[in-house]
Amino acid sequence: MWRIRHELLDPSRIEEVGKQALAFKDSGFHCSESIIRAVWPYVIPDREISDDVLRITMPFRGGMAATTGSHCGGLTMGIALSGALYGRLEADGDYKLAPSIARKYWSLFLQEFGTSNCTLLRRGEPGPEAPTICGCIIVRSARLLLSYFDALHADFPSLGEIYSWVVDRSHEECHEQVVPLKMNDEE
């Protein structure tokens, strides 16, 4: 089964994208905005990120639409970038590739954090990456995303293997049963 082979990755790129994501957060952007702005130039350097993309991704912050009740912007921006990189434009294009690649990122996100729920993630303590838990999640998500896309680029699996990728959420607490935290507009 395919996995990220860290020997293929450039650690300075991974470190730098985390710093840039944190800088965007520190300048006032939220999780989804910070991650898309930081990761885009690394994974899609030949296309300028459009104002429309920036606007579209903004409401994914804070557990989807600032509710803290659903998926973290660190996950949703990985799904969005999977579409930007591997999504189809024509109806007869590959309709399996982008969702499969997004599922693998989702699986990696769950391995990294244990949950994708904003409230549950925000119950944790900050780590060495940033002074706030959201800052840490932003940095780690940006690094995870770049590591994932770099590894895919370096060692692209067969389509059959990619199509078989699944998300196992059986160990994740049910989002509908989590009482959302009150959103702090600062985060």
pLDDT of residue 103: 97
Residue spans of the domains in the chain: they are 17-167
Give Cα separations from 157 to 86, 101, 162 (angstroms).
14, 11, 6
- CA 162/CA 160 separation, integer angstroms: 5
pLDDT in tens, 57-73: 999 998 888 888 889 99
Percent of the chain's residues with pLDDT above 70: 95
Residue 186 pLDDT exceeds 80: no
Q: In this structure, what token pair is assigned to residue 56?
A: 């579209």
Question: Which has the closest alpha carbon to 6: 140, 130, 155?
Answer: 155
Of residues 178 and 45, the one with the higher pLDDT is 45
- CA 2/CA 80 separation, integer angstroms: 21
Q: In this structure, what token pair is assigned to residue 6?
A: 């860290």
Question: What pTM was computed for the model?
Answer: 0.91
pLDDT in tens, 78-136: 999 999 999 999 999 999 999 999 999 999 999 999 999 998 999 888 999 999 999 99
pLDDT of residue 13: 92
Provide the 10 A C-beta neighbour count for residue 181: 18
Provide the 10 A C-beta neighbour count for residue 121: 24
Residues 6+ apart with CB under 8 A from 157: 2
pLDDT in tens, 35-50: 999 999 999 999 999 9
Mean of the per-residue pLDDT values for the chain?
91
Are 71 and 57 a contacting pair, CB within 8 Å?
Answer: no
Are 10 and 153 a contacting pair, CB within 8 Å?
Answer: no
